[in-house]
């Protein structure tokens, strides 16, 4: 399996985040990707390449141009405002909630609120470099699959599935899975399925494709009545307009074990097969693991082999995009288990 990976991910290096009403040590850290990269290399899963330069026009097919410009220019604006150049954990503190206007302010604090939806996603001096490299990683993997590879692994960091068309949050800035799906469409796939198996709902991916019938989005995640992102990911969200019927959410209760997860996964894969996509994107979150520090499912190390084998049974070209997973000491094991299981399932289907 081809892996695409950029060392520039380390440019985004937060130290703290906002969680449970207070500042706590950050969990979305460079070591996550470094551990997975080393494990893929050690397991000899295949060639590892650097991404090609990011296609800005592709990004702006799924994100608003003004939002992308904000991300790119943020740090310079921070410096121009005379703020501390040694701070790498900056946060918004006011948002245009209902009753307020969503306008482009001149003041940076207003812009940060305009282009974010939570206070738990820090930005710093190297965030744009890391974010653009992560998006380029997904783009390159998708292009390689469009050119004929049966599958590729985009080892993205920061993750992307929470990133909305015009807002960042949930550690995500550009939506890597959506960029991969759009790249597959641009590469000739008439229809694409996106399957999100992260513990948290991919609210950003849903929002980007909610009115489209060419991309079927399905997500298995913790019930948003109990878990982040709370305000999207409910079962009654089925798409709108041309996209009605092309959005499938399967929320599961806190504490879900593999047998129940597997039953739902089987149902979702059957729905994807019925959609008959030309290609598929898997948002691979590994935070369904039993010891993940911010999640509450109970999948075990070996369950990820079975998960990978089920995903590998798909009959279409597939891009696997790395998302969440914060139990760093087990992350490499779970990633390799999933990828090897995928390859076994793909070979024997």
Q: Active-site positions?
A: 162
The SS3 call for residue 20 is coil
Instruction: Kindly write down the DSSP assignment for every residue of 180-246, as one continuous string.
Output: HHHHHHHTT-S-EEEEE-SSS--HHHHHHHTT-SSEEEEEEEE-TTTSTT-SS--TT----GGGTT-
Specify whether the CB–CB gap between 327 and 291 falls below 8 A: yes
Structure tokens that stand for 122 in this block:
């820090």
CA distances 210 to 237, 283, 308, Å, are: 9, 17, 27
Task: Identify the CA nearest to 265 among candidates 246, 240, 278, 282.
Answer: 282
CA distances 117 to 91, 109, 133, Å, are: 11, 13, 22
Dmax (CA) for the chain in angstroms is 59
């Amino acid at each position: 399996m081809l892996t695409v990976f950029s060392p520039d991910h380390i440019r985004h290096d937060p130290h703290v985040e906002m969680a449970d009403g207070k500042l706590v040590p950050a969990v979305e850290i460079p070591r996550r990707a470094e551990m997975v990269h080393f494990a893929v290399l050690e397991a000899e899963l295949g060639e590892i390449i650097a991404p090609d330069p990011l296609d800005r026009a592709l990004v702006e097919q799924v994100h608003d141009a003004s939002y992308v410009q904000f991300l790119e220019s943020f740090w310079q604006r921070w410096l121009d405002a005379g703020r501390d150049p040694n701070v790498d954990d900056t946060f918004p503190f006011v948002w245009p909630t209902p009753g307020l206007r969503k306008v482009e302010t001149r003041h940076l604090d207003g812009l940060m609120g305009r282009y974010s939806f939570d206070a738990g996603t820090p930005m710093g001096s190297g965030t744009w470099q890391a974010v653009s490299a992560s998006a380029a990683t997904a783009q390159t993997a998708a292009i390689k699959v469009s050119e004929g590879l049966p599958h590729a692994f985009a080892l993205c960091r920061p993750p992307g599935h929470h990133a909305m068309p015009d807002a960042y949050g949930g550690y995500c800035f550009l939506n890597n899975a959506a960029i991969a799906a759009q790249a597959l469409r641009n590469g000739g796939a008439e229809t694409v399925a996106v399957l999100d198996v992260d513990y948290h709902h991919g609210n950003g991916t849903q929002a980007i494709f909610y009115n489209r019938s060419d991309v079927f989005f399905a997500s298995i995640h913790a019930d948003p009545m109990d878990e982040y992102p709370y305000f999207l990911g409910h079962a009654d969200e089925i798409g709108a307009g041309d996209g009605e019927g092309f959005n499938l959410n399967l929320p599961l209760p806190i504490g879900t074990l593999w047998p129940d997860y597997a039953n739902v996964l089987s149902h979702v894969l059957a729905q994807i097969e019925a959609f008959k996509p030309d290609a598929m994107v898997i948002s691979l979150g590994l935070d369904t693991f039993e010891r993940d520090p911010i999640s509450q499912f109970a999948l075990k190390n070996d369950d990820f082999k079975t998960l990978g084998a089920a995903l590998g049974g798909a009959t279409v070209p597939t891009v696997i995009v790395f998302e969440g997973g914060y139990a760093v000491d087990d992350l490499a094991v779970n990633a390799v288990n999933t990828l090897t299981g995928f390859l076994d399932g793909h070979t024997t289907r």
